[in-house]
C-alpha cells in the first residue's frame, strides 16, 4: 500500500485555511514577524550589541527590542528600518504581484 504525500501548500490549505482567508493571512503574518525577529536578533548578536544598546541606538526601550525579537510586537516599518540602520545592515523588500516581482526604478 502506498501512502499519499501532500505538499506544504496543501497541508496549509487543509489545516490553516486557503490563501486569502483571515486564518491564513494571520498565519502568514505571524510567520513573517517570526522570521523578521530572528533576523534582527542574529544581526544584533553579530554586532555584539545588547538589546539595551540597540534600543539606545534606535531611540526605544530595551523591552521594545525584546518584543521585536520574540515577535510579540507588531512593529511599524519605520521602527524596523531604524533597527536595521542602527545595526548597519541592509534590508530589502520584495513585492510580488501575480507571480511577477515588482521593481522600483
Residue 23 domain-assigned?
A: yes
The pLDDT score that the predictor gives to residue 105 is 46
**What average pLDDT is seen over the chain?**
83
Give the number of other Cβ atoms within 10 Å of residue 25's Cβ: 13
Confidence of residue 14 (pLDDT cuts 50, 70, 90): confident
The pLDDT score that the predictor gives to residue 29 is 78
Residue 15 domain-assigned?
A: yes
H or E segment at 96? strand 95-97
Residue 2 domain-assigned?
A: no
Residue 56 burial by CB count (10 A; 0-12/13-18/19+): exposed, middle or buried?
middle
CA distance 63 to 66: 5
**Domain total for the chain?**
1
- Domain of 40, in residue numbers: 8-102
Residue 3 domain-assigned?
A: no
The pLDDT score that the predictor gives to residue 97 is 63
Residue 17 domain-assigned?
A: yes
CA distance 74 to 90: 20
Residue 1 domain-assigned?
A: no
In tens, the pLDDT along 37-81 reads 888 898 889 989 999 999 999 999 999 899 888 876 667 778 888
CATH of the domain at 30: 1.10.260.40
Reported in sequence order, the residue ranges of 9-87 that DSSP labels E, i.e. its strands, are: none
pTM, full prediction: 0.64
Confidence of residue 101 (pLDDT cuts 50, 70, 90): low
Amino acid at each position: 500500500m502506498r501512502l499519499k504525500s501532500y505538499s506544504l501548500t496543501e497541508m496549509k490549505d487543509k489545516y490553516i485555511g486557503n490563501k486569502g482567508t483571515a486564518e491564513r493571512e494571520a498565519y502568514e503574518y505571524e510567520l513573517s514577524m517570526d522570521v523578521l525577529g530572528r533576523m534582527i536578533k542574529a544581526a544584533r548578536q553579530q554586532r555584539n550589541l545588547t538589546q539595551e544598546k540597540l534600543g539606545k541606538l534606535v531611540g526605544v526601550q530595551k523591552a521594545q527590542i525584546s518584543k521585536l525579537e520574540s515577535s510579540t510586537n507588531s512593529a511599524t516599518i519605520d521602527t524596523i528600518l531604524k533597527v536595521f540602520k542602527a545595526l548597519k545592515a541592509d534590508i530589502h523588500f520584495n513585492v510580488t504581484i501575480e507571480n511577477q516581482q515588482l521593481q522600483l526604478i
